[in-house]
């Protein structure tokens, strides 16, 4: 098993006829991802990489049985595309574009919760279940099938962790990019819990970063997990970010510095890592 | 993107939130003329994109044009947290009876909008929030929720607005909340919302931050002269140049030039350098899928920086492709040349093609890569980081 | 028992400090209605007819235990007042003002359904449970306690029916004015069902009128009722109303003429009446 | 309140729904000049507040100015369902490939907004709906719901919009739905939405009805010259006078002047008169809580109507008070005098006070009430109705 996607996932691509959509559809297919079709309104009836294109998500689902979608569209079009997908019944959505307006993502999150769908991104490198499916823009070279789950706010960190886990023989069950935007479709919490419930995942690496509040939120869930969690946070030596006005300070309090994030995670039971090579060392100690 | 006080007040006015009649001036002479034409005492307020203005002496009161001119001269010489004062807002001096705070922002952890209000407005609001949380009223909303007048009346009452002004205060709160939504804001604050001796409610200061990613859908902002801009921070010459080139860049005080791929490792790479005893000279991000031209420009910024002793390069091709990366590095080496040693690692999408390009370039001109130590996926990034610190030390010794 | 209001209802008045609010508060109190307070934002702390005035409905409920509200406000203020009331926990709301924008009433209905509150009006004469409570603007002279329930779209028809029932000794359990506006907070259906479940009500008089669709909707519920329903419809000799565009014709079909309404009601099991004096005659035959 | 086609199209244009470039003319000469300045064939369309225009010959095509003038002369003489044609809209003649129907209205029975669309637009849409319901697409919304483009694409596809135009059609549908909400409409229809030979989609006709009770919150309507008005219907002189006085009034062809209280009994009272063999001369409604002045004016309308042989008065005081009613009747009797018999019944709120006023007036001038038969709650309204019919018959016999 894997979380969110595997070789049986039926994947559609929203924006499949666009430049990035075409390019990455080809790449994802090369990896063996089970892409069944795509959507571009007004281009129904065409084909990309031999996969049929539909005018709406509902039609694509009807004809292909798609249950997962990857979005390659301009940021301004993401809100409607995501709402269309979850309303039509897509249960997992990968939002690759960056610079999505924050109010749009708040709305997308609301709809996703309402329709019980999972969304990752915006600005995510995607998700990969090595050897089975690669959704998004992640470079397959770094990944090998295995027993560690990874969840990260940064694409590049994801690759380095994968590289490390592959080289040391652990490999990955699934690697999830939450995305780099300020408001994200999913937080660490939801993904951590999926890993907790996944038999194949023997440990999880959480890759966080200065700013935002999602690492702090994760400390609510880590103590409830049996699966060990390793945490690495970028920005320990970065100057602290600015608070947004008094309101930001009142709402988010002291959250946001990398050091505090790592300390809080450690306090909640996670194993802190400084650099990537700490990861296999800790895994070894834990007997993973 | 943060707005100047006077810009925020333009939005307030458009949103039916009462603001003082303001005059923006760019010189002491203009300040003199403006105040001479007014018949009342004024406040002169430095317009800068940072907080802490009051404590830095950025606000002055004047009874007449001469005094205004003297104050303006001081203000235009002032730097507030490094920001030079280029414009001063002149407004009638307010006769303040009470100060309230009203703000709206986003609670990212819970995916909500939050309205915050207090009967104790002013610069100490954060302290109030910490020491007397009971003096702060908070209310959360889903992004589609409307704020109704009755809820605003309730909030106004809880922060101590007098009965006769409840409806007016509620109207201001509702309009502020609407403005937050209409303009895709990240933050809107009226602080203080002043109750004057004449029982008027007026927004004495504004703090507004909009979502740069949503500016495209608000054509009226451009009409008001409000364009997409970066967050606050005074820029060095090099930062300005980088901004012109569209490259996120920040000068630091170390000596290792950071040439990373991806914002995530851009930040964490700095930590790695520190862990191995070095100090980075900068932050940098290539942005998603950079062109060879941009890659070349990133290297120009580092190579021309006299503080940089060595360059640390790291590229893990994701949406950014290694072939484009290699093209950019080769373009830089050919057109500009490298004046300091560089250690780099390249892997990820299209890495084979990238390696091929480097090999071809080397065949063409064997000296081209002589200052570059090149690594692939086989070398862990920690080793590269260590090596960069070593190289910088060696340069320092020279 | 009675439906919706009785002598134990704790009634508040929204807009109690206005001209109509004051005038009718006095009248309602004279009738013995248990008015416990009122609301006018900004006038909290004042009093009208010795009843305390509050700034919000929530405060009024907190201090007085009010569970029913009567609205005397300008039409433009009704939407917010109604939403405030139902969100604060009011379970029955009487909306007297007329000319409320239709889109506002659609919203009010939605909120009322969501918060499980009943709303009558806009443009209703109100509701009276004779001898117990009189909410709105109905003239008490016409009403006597009794065993027939009345539900009507028109204030004046309500009075004539009451007058008839009082004179013939039947009296009324409760008399409900749905209101004269094109979109109403409640339809005949909800009120008919309340009467069906009310022990005191032995028969119901439904007073309808040309136009609209609520009488036709009532034919869905009348066959399910044990309590006999009498129906009287105004406008049998009026020229037919105009349809609103093609869309109106497509949505509302043939609904709307008084003759068809009366025929449909009769077909569904209601007893049709021509003039008011038919009412006691039919009641007598039914042995009510 | 119904809008003229050209007004509806103004709203379409503001809502980014494409409409033909139109010119409004008020005379044949203007039509000539307008068409002379245009280089294309035109359609001349009579502007009236009613349907059935096409069948009544209210739309003409012309190739040049002379033909346009001839047609305009005919149009300006035309009456469509009694409506005189005062303005003609001149638009380019469209080369029609296909006609669609798109409309939004309110489903009162279910408290929803409904969007209706069809691939067979034009005047026969209702017939299509009845005979081929499968050719009609319907979608319901809560009043707060947004219509998303993807749903509009789905609708456009179902009604047969060609693939290349799906996005454009969806945009029009979304904008029509938004317009419905923004302007508090009761009905908006594009019929037909034309697909031209050049593959453009354009709203060839508009039908828009707004909620008069919500016009107050749309200041831009007034700027466009669209003001609060009554529903369609040509008015008689007496109806116009009543409208000026703010009294809902409609002439009928009988002889009993109806002077009711309340709209409900205003309608049912007419039935009663019919049941007892009479015929009313009018509908009338006093409106809620009428002033004595308005009551007096209502009587003036009836007394001065030569068709009225007798007056049937009924007042059940609710929000309208009997004392105000009595004052109005007495005011009329004193200032104007009653020229025909009246039978009336008065009861309800403040009836005692009303009766007292009548008695006082009678004491002052015993002749004042001599043509009035006055009843209270003790007489059923059926008796009063019967008596009115009787009185009218007696008058007829004279």
Buried/exposed D41-62: b ≥16 CB within 10 Å, e otherwise: bbbbbbbbbbbebeebebbbeb
CA distance A86 to chain B (A): 17
CA distance A178 to chain D (A): 26
pLDDT score for D124: 80
Domain check: are A97 and A175 in the same one? Answer: no
Q: Contact, C68 vs C93, CB < 8 A?
A: yes
Domain covering D237-396 in this structure, CATH number: 3.40.50.261
Residue where the block lists tokens 């702090």: A216
Q: Considering the domain boundaries, does residue A127 fall inside one? A: no
Domain check: are C187 and C225 in the same one? Answer: yes
pLDDT score for B77: 93
Return the residue of D nearest to A58 by Cα. Answer: D154
Catalytic residues of D: 101, 189
Domain check: are A152 and A249 in the same one? Answer: yes
CA distance C22 to chain B (A): 20
Domain check: are C112 and C149 in the same one? Answer: no
Interchain CB distance below 8 Å, D166 and A58: no
Residue range A31-57: average pLDDT?
Answer: 97
Q: What is the CATH number of the domain that holds C24?
A: 3.40.50.720
pLDDT tens for residues D272-307? 999 999 999 999 887 777 889 999 999 999 999 999
| Residue C81 pLDDT greater than 70, yes or no | yes
Q: Contact, C68 vs C85, CB < 8 A?
A: no
Chain C neighbors of B148, CB-CB under 8 A: 80, 83-84
Q: Give the residue numbers spanning the domain of C164.
A: 139-286
Of B104, B214, B263, the CB nearest to A101: B214
Interchain CB distance below 8 Å, A80 and D148: yes
User: What secondary structure, in 3-state letters, does chain B show?
Assistant: CECCHHHHHHHHHHCCCCCCCCEEECCHHHHHHHHHHCCCCEEEEECCCCCCCCCCCCEEEECCHHHHHHHHHHHHHCEECCEECCCEEEEECCCEEEEEEEEEEEECCCCEEEEEEECCCCCCHHHHHHHCHHHEEEEEECCCCCCCHHHHHHHHHHCCCCHHHHHHHHHHHHHHHHHHHHCCEEEEEEEEEEEECCCCEEECCEEEEECHHHHHHCHHHHHCCCCCCCCCCCCCHHHHHHHHCCCCEEECCCCEEEEECCHHHHHHHHHHHHHCCCCECEEECCCCCCCHHHHHHHHHHHHCCCCCCEEEEEEEECCCCHHHHHHHHHHHHHHCCCCCCEEEEEEECCHHHHHHHHHHHHHHCCCCCCCEEEECCCCCHHHHHHHHHHHHHHHHHC
Element (H, E) at A278: helix A278-286
Rg (C-alpha) for chain C, rounded Å, is 19
pLDDT score for D62: 95
Domain check: are A268 and A168 in the same one? Answer: yes
Domain check: are A98 and A214 in the same one? Answer: no
Mutate which of C246, C256, C273 to disrupt the D interface (most D C-beta within 10 Å)?
C246
| Residue A272 pLDDT greater than 70, yes or no | yes
CA-wise closest residue to C57 among B170, B175, B153: B153
Q: Contact, D93 vs D40, CB < 8 A?
A: yes
Domain boundary among C87, C120, C153: C120
- CA D220 to the chain's CA centroid: 21
CA-wise closest residue to B345 among B370, B317, B320, B318: B317
Interchain CB distance below 8 Å, D270 and C237: yes
Domain check: are C145 and C204 in the same one? Answer: yes
| Residue B339 pLDDT greater than 80, yes or no | yes
- Give me the residues paired with residue D299 across strands: none
Residues 6+ apart with CB under 8 A from C177: C120, C121, C124, C125, C126, C127, C136, C138, C152, C153, C154, C155, C158
Residue range A263-272: average pLDDT?
Answer: 97
Instruction: Identify the band that residue C256 occupies on the pLDDT scale cut at 50, 70 and 90.
Output: confident
| Residue C156 pLDDT greater than 90, yes or no | no
Take residue D351 and report the two structure tokens written for it: 């009836």
Buried/exposed C44-69: b ≥16 CB within 10 Å, e otherwise: beeebeebbbbbbbbbbbeebebbbb
Q: How many CB atoms lie within 10 A of CB C132?
A: 18
Interchain CB distance below 8 Å, A55 and D149: no
More confident residue, D231 or B162: B162
Q: Contact, A188 vs A175, CB < 8 A?
A: no
Domain check: are C152 and C281 in the same one? Answer: yes
Residue C274 CA: distances (Å) to CA of A26, C282, D92, D273 = 76, 11, 55, 12
Chain A neighbors of B184, CB-CB under 8 A: 101-103
Instruction: Identify the band that residue C222 occupies on the pLDDT scale cut at 50, 70 and 90.
Output: very high
Residue where the block lists tokens 């996932």: A9
Measured between CB atoms, does B351 come within 8 Å of chain A? Answer: yes
Chain A neighbors of B109, CB-CB under 8 A: 187, 213-214, 216-217, 252, 255
Buried/exposed A162-177: b ≥16 CB within 10 Å, e otherwise: bbbbbbbebbbbbbbb
Buried/exposed D258-273: b ≥16 CB within 10 Å, e otherwise: bbbbbbbbbbbbbbbb
Measured between CB atoms, does A241 come within 8 Å of chain B? Answer: no
Residue A104 phi/psi, 5-degree rounding, is: -65, -45
pLDDT tens for residues C111-120? 999 999 999 9
Percent of chain B with pLDDT over 90: 74
Domain check: are A150 and A260 in the same one? Answer: yes
* Among B residues 101-120, those touching chain A with beta carbons less than 8 Å apart: 101, 103-109, 111-114, 116
CA distance A266 to chain B (A): 18
Interchain CB distance below 8 Å, B217 and A76: yes
Architecture field, domain B96-220: 2-Layer Sandwich (3.30)
Report CA torsion sign: B20, B21, B26, B31. negative
Please count the structural domains in chain A.
2
| Residue B101 pLDDT greater than 60, yes or no | yes
Element (H, E) at D396: helix D381-397
Mutate which of D134, D139, D141, D213 to disrupt the C interface (most C C-beta within 10 Å)?
D213
Interchain CB distance below 8 Å, B166 and C42: yes
pLDDT score for C269: 97
Chains that touch D (3 or more CB pairs under 8 A): A, C
Alpha-carbon gap, residue A148 to B206, rounded angstroms = 49
What average pLDDT does chain D have? 92
Domain boundary among C90, C120, C150: C120
pLDDT score for C281: 96
Q: What is the CATH number of the domain that holds C252?
A: 3.40.50.261
| Residue A276 pLDDT greater than 80, yes or no | yes
| Residue B398 pLDDT greater than 60, yes or no | no
Interchain CB distance below 8 Å, A216 and B109: yes
Residues 6+ apart with CB under 8 A from C137: C24, C27, C96, C125, C126, C155, D318, D319, D349
| Residue B349 pLDDT greater than 90, yes or no | no
More confident residue, A156 or B5: B5
Q: Considering the domain boundaries, does residue C224 fall inside one? A: yes
Of C55, C81, C83, the CB nearest to B157: C55
Interchain CB distance below 8 Å, C45 and B163: yes
CA distance D140 to chain A (A): 16
Measured between CB atoms, does C241 come within 8 Å of chain D? Answer: no
3-class DSSP state of D125: helix
Its ipTM equals 0.91
CA distance B42 to chain C (A): 32
More confident residue, C174 or B240: C174
Report CA torsion sign: A49, A55, A60, A63. negative
pLDDT tens for residues B148-201? 999 999 999 999 999 999 999 999 999 999 999 999 999 999 999 999 999 999
Q: Considering the domain boundaries, does residue A130 fall inside one? A: no
| Residue D396 pLDDT greater than 80, yes or no | no
Alpha-carbon gap, residue B296 to B313, rounded angstroms = 12
Chain C neighbors of D231, CB-CB under 8 A: 242
Chain B neighbors of A106, CB-CB under 8 A: 106, 111-113, 142-143
- CA B28 to the chain's CA centroid: 28
Interchain CB distance below 8 Å, C80 and B150: yes
Take residue A258 and report the two structure tokens written for it: 């990398």
pLDDT score for B231: 55
Q: Contact, A201 vs A227, CB < 8 A?
A: yes
Residues 6+ apart with CB under 8 A from B219: none
Return the residue of A nearest to B322 by Cα. Answer: A139
Q: Contact, B308 vs B302, CB < 8 A?
A: yes
Interchain CB distance below 8 Å, D154 and A56: yes
Of D264, D270, D385, the CB nearest to C154: D264
Residues 6+ apart with CB under 8 A from A224: A196
pLDDT score for A248: 75
Take residue B42 and report the two structure tokens written for it: 């004024």
Chain B neighbors of A102, CB-CB under 8 A: 106, 184, 186, 211, 213-214
Domain check: are A274 and A174 in the same one? Answer: yes
CA distance C45 to chain B (A): 9
Alpha-carbon gap, residue C188 to C178, rounded angstroms = 8
3-class DSSP state of A205: strand
Measured between CB atoms, does D182 come within 8 Å of chain C? Answer: no
Residues 6+ apart with CB under 8 A from B383: B375
pLDDT score for B51: 79
Q: Considering the domain boundaries, does residue A267 fall inside one? A: yes
Domain boundary among C89, C120, C151: C120
Interchain CB distance below 8 Å, B316 and A153: no
Q: Considering the domain boundaries, does residue C125 fall inside one? A: no
Architecture field, domain B21-92: 2-Layer Sandwich (3.30)
Q: Contact, B28 vs B72, CB < 8 A?
A: yes
pTM for the model:
0.92
Measured between CB atoms, does D164 come within 8 Å of chain A? Answer: yes
Domain check: are A280 and A148 in the same one? Answer: yes
Catalytic residues of B: 101, 189
Please report the number of interchain residue pairs, chain C to chain D, with beta-carbon separation below 8 angstroms.
202
pLDDT score for C275: 94
Residue range D141-163: average pLDDT?
Answer: 96
pLDDT tens for residues D122-138? 778 888 888 888 899 99
pLDDT tens for residues A218-264? 999 999 999 999 999 999 998 766 666 677 777 776 667 899 999 99
Q: Secondary structure of chain D: what % helix, strand, coil (to 5)?
A: 40, 25, 35
Residue range B202-207: average pLDDT?
Answer: 96
Q: Secondary structure of chain A: what % helix, strand, coil (to 5)?
A: 40, 25, 40
Report CA torsion sign: A157, A163, A169, A175. positive
Take residue B193 and report the two structure tokens written for it: 């919302």
Measured between CB atoms, does C67 come within 8 Å of chain B? Answer: no
What average pLDDT does chain B have? 92
Ordered by start, the domain boundaries in chain D are: 21-92, 96-220, 237-396
Domain check: are A113 and A167 in the same one? Answer: no
**Assign residue B233 a region: left if phi > 0, alpha if psi is -120 to 50, beta otherwise?**
left
């Amino acid at each position: 098993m894997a979380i969110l996607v595997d070789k049986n996932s039926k994947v559609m691509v929203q924006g499949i006829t666009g430049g990035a959509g075409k390019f990455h559809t080809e790449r994802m297919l090369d990896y063996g991802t089970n892409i069944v079709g795509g959507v571009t309104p007004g281009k129904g009836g065409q084909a990309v990489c031999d996969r049929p294109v539909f005018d709406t998500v509902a039609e694509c689902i009807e004809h292909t049985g798609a249950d997962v979608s990857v979005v390659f569209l301009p940021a301004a079009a993401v809100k409607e595309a995501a709402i269309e997908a979850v309303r039509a019944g897509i249960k997992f959505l990968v939002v690759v574009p960056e610079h999505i307006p924050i109010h749009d993502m708040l709305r997308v999150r609301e709809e996703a919760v309402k329709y019980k769908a999972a969304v990752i991104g915006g600005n995510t490198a995607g998700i990969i279940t090595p050897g089975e499916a690669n959704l998004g823009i992640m470079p397959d070279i770094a990944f090998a099938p295995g027993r560690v789950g990874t969840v990260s706010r940064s694409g590049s960190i994801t690759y380095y962790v994968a590289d490390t886990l592959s080289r040391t023989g652990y490999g990955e069950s699934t690697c999830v990019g939450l995305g780099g935007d300020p408001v994200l479709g999913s937080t660490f919490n939801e993904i951590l819990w999926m890993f907790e419930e996944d038999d194949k995942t023997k440990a999880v690496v959480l890759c966080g970063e200065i700013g935002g509040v999602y690492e702090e939120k994760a400390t609510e869930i880590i103590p409830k997990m049996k699966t060990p969690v390793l945490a690495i946070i970028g920005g320990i030596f970065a100057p602290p970010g600015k608070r947004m006005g008094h309101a930001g300070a009142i709402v988010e309090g002291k959250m946001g510095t990398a050091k505090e994030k790592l300390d809080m995670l450690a306090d909640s039971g996670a194993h802190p890592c400084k650099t990537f090579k700490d990861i296999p060392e800790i895994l070894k100690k834990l007997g993973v | 993107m943060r707005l100047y006080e006077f810009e925020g007040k333009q939005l307030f006015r458009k949103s039916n939130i009462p603001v003082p009649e303001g005059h923006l001036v760019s010189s002491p002479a203009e300040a003199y003329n403006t105040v001479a034409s007014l018949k009342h005492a004024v406040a002169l307020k430095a317009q800068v994109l940072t907080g802490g203005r009051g404590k830095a002496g950025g606000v002055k009161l004047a009874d007449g044009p001469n005094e205004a001119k003297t104050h303006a001269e001081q203000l235009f010489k002032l730097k507030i947290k490094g920001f030079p004062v280029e414009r001063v807002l002149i407004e009638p001096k307010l006769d303040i009876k009470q100060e309230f705070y009203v703000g709206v922002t986003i609670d990212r952890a819970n995916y909500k909008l939050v309205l915050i209000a207090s009967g104790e407005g002013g610069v100490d609001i954060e302290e109030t929030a910490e020491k007397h949380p009971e003096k702060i009223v908070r209310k959360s909303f889903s992004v589609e929720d409307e704020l109704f007048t009755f809820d605003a009346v309730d909030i106004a009452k809880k922060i101590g607005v007098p009965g006769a002004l409840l409806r007016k205060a509620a109207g201001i709160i509702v309009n502020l909340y609407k403005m937050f939504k209409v303009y895709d804001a990240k933050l809107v604050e009226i602080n203080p919302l002043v109750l004057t001796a004449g029982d008027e409610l007026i927004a004495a200061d504004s703090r507004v931050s909009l979502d740069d990613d949503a500016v495209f859908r608000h054509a009226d902002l451009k009409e008001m002269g409000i364009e997409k801009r970066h967050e606050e921070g005074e820029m060095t010459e090099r930062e300005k140049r980088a901004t012109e080139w569209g490259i996120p860049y920040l000068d630091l005080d170390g000596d290792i030039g950071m040439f990373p791929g991806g914002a995530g490792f851009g930040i964490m790479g700095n930590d790695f350098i520190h862990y191995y005893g070095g100090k980075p000279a900068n932050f940098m991000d290539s942005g998603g899928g950079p062109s060879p031209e941009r890659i070349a420009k990133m290297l120009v910024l580092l190579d021309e920086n006299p503080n940089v002793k060595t360059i640390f390069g790291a590229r893990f091709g994701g949406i950014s492709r290694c072939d484009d990366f290699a093209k950019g590095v080769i373009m830089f080496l050919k057109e500009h040349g490298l004046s300091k040693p560089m250690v780099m690692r390249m892997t990820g999408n299209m890495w084979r093609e990238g390696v091929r390009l480097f090999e071809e370039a080397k065949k063409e001109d064997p000296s081209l890569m002589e200052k570059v130590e090149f690594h692939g996926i086989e070398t862990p990034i920690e080793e590269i980081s260590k090596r960069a610190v070593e190289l910088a030390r060696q340069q320092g010794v020279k």
